[in-house]
A and B are shown apart, each in its own frame.
Chain A
Amino acid sequence: MNLRPTFGIFLIPTKERKGFHDLSNKGREVILFIQQIPVVIFLVLGLMGPCLVAQDTPIPPRVKFQALLKEYQGAASSGKVLTDQERLAFVGQAYIQRDKIASKFVDLALKHPGDPIALDALLQAIWQVNTTPWPVEIVGRNNSWLRAFSILVRDHLGSEKLGQACMRLSPGFRKEYETFLRTVMEKSPSKANRGQATIALGNFLANRKQRVEIIKTDPMQSTAFENLFGKEYLNGLLQREPIIADREVEAILKLAIRDYGHVKCEDGGTVGDLAKASLFALRSLGVGAKAPEIEGRDQDGLLTRLGDYRGKVVVLDFWSEY
């Protein structure tokens, strides 16, 4: 059954509920998406390149950082509706472009290790979190984020900005994200960082387990994940009992509540609140649980209740048109 041709993975990590959908759609579904809704794509242009070439007078690290950031975020409309193939190519280009700039951020941090901008540059280098198995031959490979992680762990474990970076990683899939989150959780001298790393790790593991369950149903997605994230890693995950994975998530979430319940997160919520919501999902929104009632308005403004559908099999589809 093809429910609707407008699916796209739109991962919303706890702290970053906006603006994540630009690069996080799943390729073969987006192809269908394009047939339905015109999408104007924005192309990243390397407009700032010339600014970085002039070396007559030393450019302060902050200025270099701002130029790179503008290049990273800078976008211009292509002014046209893209076809399926064009869109896929665009995503690949955008990934590769951003990866290249990420590499420059790491270089900047290495060149000015004592400057406060080094930390910002490193955090920017890990900003792009690949949540979707885009074909590796299109999005390419780049390990600048790995270099950024090792410098962050070496020089910045106590920085208060690290907690936010941890939260950003929770919808990712890479093995190294788990390693990084565990390192911050265990070794950061900052309680705020340890707390945010703990809830981020709990959510990362929960998200990853959900992904693995999907991969089990679909050889195509399995191959894509394998190519991007490594065969050995994926096989290890596929062989794990789901119940064991759930127990691990539960233990970490409980730890987050017990030890870091009052730690504030960037959006004003606490680690405890987030962990409780995730625990509720694990225990009460899993297979075998009774679905909570939903009461609300439908697209015609009519009051609608999920419970009114009792006696029928219901596919409940959380969706967005993006």
Chain B
Amino acid sequence: MTFARLAGPTKAAAVTLTVDGQRIAARDGDTVAAALLAAGRQAIRRSAVTGEPRAPYCQMGVCFECLVEIDGVADRQACLVPVRNGMVVATQQGEG
């Protein structure tokens, strides 16, 4: 599942963040989880037990499937954190 943005006009400013070393474009007002989906990321972590791929399930802070490292802090809920210019995000592959 990848996500597209609605075509309608927006005054939201462009924001750039780095995800696993790659620059991605986002918009002011996105959460990190929404920005990852809009940038074409699908599975954004692997489960800690069997390593199976996982993606955000609830988008409201309940499921913890969107855990990522943000600016050096591991296990942040990406759906609760708004994007900021220059933010550095690393996905977690099995350790979180």
Q: Do A and B bind each other?
A: no
Interfacial residues, chain A to chain B (CB-CB below 8 A)? none
Interfacial residues, chain B to chain A (CB-CB below 8 A)? none
